[in-house]
With several copies, the nearest count.
Chain A
């Protein structure tokens, strides 16, 4: 794929009708809208159906391991802050295997955008429960129905004081593209949990299910997205009405600001200064 505009691949390994298509299209639209070039963007993904996204849109790609999306993206961003780094993965990738990194990447407030394809199921391994599956959902590993308390990524991110916490919906490409742009423009860690119908394995949380329920928080009069407690409270709304939009956004120092002394320019553009090494060696010299 060439370096002019963000082209979306026609050939994918996704099922026809999958919510992932809406996400990749919205992403291309968002990136185009920001005037970025493909070679300025790096997608870092894990393993899962969602994790294949980077292969279907133009840009640099680092397709890593299941669950390891965030640390890899963090390392890449620290080493070359010139890249717009977009981490992308499934809900299993991010909230099951990768749960620990989710906590700590947020704490670091590294300046990346994290898009989670939240289909509430393990797609690629054929439909087992994910931490996002609704209670009672029967799958190959949960014949008695899902029992665990569903994981609430928004409430958790807000609790960890993530500086940008949003939800969007794969069925609303406009909203999603807009949210992605806001996330990329945000300085700091930006989470977008995207409601993504899995037409093959999730017969509960379907397009119709969401179409009937989602409403746009961004349009909500008086909603103050800097009010952490209110954002946390709102994140529990999941029933007849499901909010999408930016739940929480604040400014706090980013990880590269912490390393400002070192990051006078991107690490990858810094030459080795041997004299500093000599200096350190000299401190150990005796006699």
Chain B
């Protein structure tokens, strides 16, 4: 595999996301596969952020530590990130923003000083086009010519008019030319043979796209990082796709609005994070009791409390599984990458409607904000299963919302669609939906609801495997560690250790298939992004089982293959 890692560092508001976005689109256009992740602070201007892109000649699913090209928009990028640059790597910095010490430091490496904003201004363009200068400069290390970069700029700025497009192209060319001039020809990363059309998306794009593909009609949400991207995506495309996205006054209103909409018969969702997720617990429990489908995206960030709002963690797993006073059926899905995010999101709506229950989709900041190249999504793979729904005639006037059935699923009637009345309640109720006090009905109604949980479990998504079947070592994880685990497994296999990766796209209820895997003779490690080992605990509670070891991270940063492999016990790694 050929790889190239570009890291763009600077302050919030300096344009590093623009530079990154230009580059990742142009690079995809040019044919590379890529993975790009973002690291930013909970502030709007200043601080120290970075945007890191890994290009490769085949699909990649995670990030690497060693940097080939560092773009420094500020001094901190030099002082903090320089040590990550590989021997022979290139540093492109803006000399206008570096103090003398940092400049000296930068100059020790293979470095180029380009005054991005000044160059733009000297070319008669606004300062802000310094971003395109930087993009052009990096592009010189990637490509022979400017075609794809110019095309990307044209596409990205098309709504700003031709002058802006041309300005950007002009300054990008200048940046390109300067680097070419200073560094001459350098080896370029290999490209895949037949790349074909692809999408380049973040988790926060794929999740709402999955929802749209599944026919979501109503969303309500209250902004909270890192889930806000999902909300804004649905807002942006709502008019065209005929979806209402109503900003709520708080998360409690958000989920209750969605429940109200869902009750009438539309697919409805909300998205949130951390504290907002906690505030939704009571309503989730209402959805469980009243058997109203609802999909909740929870994009995890490090807790407890406000924690680190813009960082990543997998610390809400225990909570997502446990979030109710009292028992009711549910499912918790945990997509591991952008492609899975799309299809699982659609699946979540099917589960919610087939079992008339809440479904939680666990994302996290790392999945939400990281771009990956993926094959175009296949809408024909998105089957829409709306569960047991009866028409007005079928239902008749004697319709019972909570009719006792063999599988615990009572056919839904949409209110107003027939003579039957649809009575739903969160209080304990009888088949009609009216309130009860007696022990017998209570017990039957609990058993009816929990019968559905059994079905959900029987149909749980099986683990996704990679690596060696006859493994001596197994890495088990869920959610956004999928790519890191896959690459760790590859790394281990390449070192002669037969390793297998087990990714759990469904964490609750856990699939039966996992038990079989746990019985394999391999040494098993659980890899997860939290302090207490929440996945480990979940598996232990279900299968009365303990792993041979665990690899955890809880400093707010994502894992990658190196992080995992470095933490395997010595005997394993060098054995």
A interface residue numbers (CB < 8 A to B): 1-3, 13-16, 38-40, 42, 44, 47, 49, 52, 54-55, 58-68, 70-80, 82-83, 96-97, 99-101, 103-104, 122-126, 128-129, 131, 140-144, 200-201, 255, 259, 261-264, 267-268, 270, 272-274, 276-281, 284-287
Q: Give the distance in Å from the alpha carbon of A226 to the alpha carbon of B21 in the complex.
A: 53
User: Which of B238, B256, B376, B415 contacts A42 (CB under 8 A)?
Assistant: B415
Tell me whether A47 and B28 are in contact in the complex, defined as CB-CB below 8 angstroms, given that A280-B241, A285-B376 are known contacts.
Answer: no
Q: Give the distance in Å from the alpha carbon of A212 to the alpha carbon of B198 in the complex.
A: 52
Tell me whether A13 and B222 are in contact in the complex, defined as CB-CB below 8 angstroms, given that A65-B305, A268-B266 are known contacts.
Answer: no
Is B42 engaged at the interface, CB distance under 8 Å to the other chain? yes
Which B residues are CB-close (under 8 A) to A97?
222, 249-250
Is B571 engaged at the interface, CB distance under 8 Å to the other chain? no
CB-CB contacts of B415-456 with A at 8 A, as 1s and 0s?
110111111111100000111000000000000000000000
Assess whether B212 is in contact with A277, with CB atoms less than 8 Å apart.
yes
B interface residue numbers (CB < 8 A to A): 13, 25, 28-29, 31, 41-47, 195-201, 205, 209, 212-213, 215, 217-218, 220-225, 228, 231-232, 235-250, 252-254, 256-266, 268, 275, 282-283, 286, 290, 305-306, 309, 376-377, 379, 384, 397, 414-416, 418-427, 433-435
CB proximity of A263 to chain B, nearest CB, Å: 8
Tell me whether A15 and B46 are in contact in the complex, defined as CB-CB below 8 angstroms, given that A62-B424, A280-B212 are known contacts.
Answer: yes
Assess whether A140 is in contact with B45, with CB atoms less than 8 Å apart.
no
Besides A14-B43, A42-B415, A75-B258, 17 other CB < 8 A contacts?
Answer: A2-B397, A42-B416, A63-B290, A64-B256, A65-B305, A68-B253, A71-B220, A75-B262, A79-B217, A79-B268, A125-B225, A126-B44, A128-B232, A140-B236, A278-B379, A280-B212, A287-B31
Assess whether B244 is in contact with A262, with CB atoms less than 8 Å apart.
yes
CB proximity of A190 to chain B, nearest CB, Å: 18
Assess whether B257 is in contact with A74, with CB atoms less than 8 Å apart.
yes
Which B residues are CB-close (under 8 A) to A128?
223, 228, 232, 247
CB proximity of B515 to chain A, nearest CB, Å: 37
User: Which of B201, B235, B419 contacts A284 (CB under 8 A)?
Assistant: B201
Which A residues are CB-close (under 8 A) to B268?
75, 79
CB proximity of A245 to chain B, nearest CB, Å: 29
Q: Give the distance in Å from the alpha carbon of A102 to the alpha carbon of B293 in the complex.
A: 25
Which A residues are CB-close (under 8 A) to B240?
276, 279-280
Assess whether B222 is in contact with A60, with CB atoms less than 8 Å apart.
no
Which A residues are CB-close (under 8 A) to B422?
60-61
Q: Give the distance in Å from the alpha carbon of A142 to the alpha carbon of B41 in the complex.
A: 25
Assess whether A96 is in contact with B239, with CB atoms less than 8 Å apart.
no
Assess whether A64 is in contact with B259, with CB atoms less than 8 Å apart.
yes
Assess whether B261 is in contact with A62, with CB atoms less than 8 Å apart.
no
Q: Give the distance in Å from the alpha carbon of A276 to the alpha carbon of B416 in the complex.
A: 28
Assess whether A143 is in contact with B236, with CB atoms less than 8 Å apart.
yes
Q: Give the distance in Å from the alpha carbon of A31 to the alpha carbon of B253 in the complex.
A: 28
Assess whether A104 is in contact with B249, with CB atoms less than 8 Å apart.
yes
Tell me whether A75 and B261 are in contact in the complex, defined as CB-CB below 8 angstroms, given that A55-B435, A65-B306, A100-B250 are known contacts.
Answer: yes
Tell me whether A64 and B286 are in contact in the complex, defined as CB-CB below 8 angstroms, given that A71-B252, A100-B250 are known contacts.
Answer: yes
Q: Give the distance in Å from the alpha carbon of A68 to the alpha carbon of B28 in the complex.
A: 45
Assess whether A261 is in contact with B239, with CB atoms less than 8 Å apart.
yes
| Residue from A126, A140, A144, A272 having most chain B Cβ neighbours under 10 A | A272
Assess whether B25 is in contact with A286, with CB atoms less than 8 Å apart.
yes
Write 23 A-B pairs (CB below 8 A) sorted by A numbering.
Answer: A3-B419, A13-B46, A15-B44, A64-B259, A64-B426, A65-B275, A74-B260, A80-B266, A80-B414, A97-B250, A104-B248, A141-B245, A143-B236, A201-B44, A261-B239, A262-B239, A268-B265, A273-B242, A276-B241, A284-B201, A285-B376, A286-B199, A287-B197
Q: Give the distance in Å from the alpha carbon of A44 to the alpha carbon of B13 in the complex.
A: 29
Which B residues are CB-close (under 8 A) to A59?
421
Assess whether B235 is in contact with A143, with CB atoms less than 8 Å apart.
yes
Which A residues are CB-close (under 8 A) to B221?
141
Closest chain A residue to B46 by CB distance? A13
| Among all A-B residue pairs, the 10 with the closest Cβ atoms | A75-B260, A75-B257, A272-B215, A79-B261, A15-B45, A13-B43, A72-B260, A104-B249, A76-B260, A60-B415
Q: Give the distance in Å from the alpha carbon of A70 to the alpha carbon of B259 in the complex.
A: 12
Assess whether B257 is in contact with A72, with CB atoms less than 8 Å apart.
yes
Tell me whether A270 and B217 are in contact in the complex, defined as CB-CB below 8 angstroms, given that A62-B424, A71-B257, A140-B228 are known contacts.
Answer: yes
Closest chain A residue to B376 by CB distance? A285
Closest chain B residue to A74 by CB distance? B257
Closest chain A residue to B25 by CB distance? A286
Assess whether A141 is in contact with B265, with CB atoms less than 8 Å apart.
no
Closest chain A residue to B257 by CB distance? A75
User: Which of A44, A47, A65 contacts B283 (CB under 8 A)?
Assistant: A65
Tell me whether A262 and B246 are in contact in the complex, defined as CB-CB below 8 angstroms, given that A65-B306, A79-B268 are known contacts.
Answer: no
Which B residues are CB-close (under 8 A) to A262?
238-239, 242-244
CB proximity of A171 to chain B, nearest CB, Å: 19
Q: Give the distance in Å from the alpha carbon of A255 to the alpha carbon of B220 in the complex.
A: 14
Which A residues are CB-close (under 8 A) to B25?
286
CB proximity of B346 to chain A, nearest CB, Å: 10
Q: Give the distance in Å from the alpha carbon of A99 to the alpha carbon of B248 in the complex.
A: 12
Which A residues are CB-close (under 8 A) to B421?
1, 3, 38-39, 58-61
| Residue from A16, A60, A129, A144 having most chain B Cβ neighbours under 10 A | A60
Q: Give the distance in Å from the alpha carbon of A47 to the alpha carbon of B225 in the complex.
A: 12
CB proximity of B232 to chain A, nearest CB, Å: 4
Which B residues are CB-close (under 8 A) to A14?
43-45
| Residue from B45, B217, B247, B266 having most chain A Cβ neighbours under 10 A | B247
Q: Give the distance in Å from the alpha carbon of A200 to the alpha carbon of B200 in the complex.
A: 28
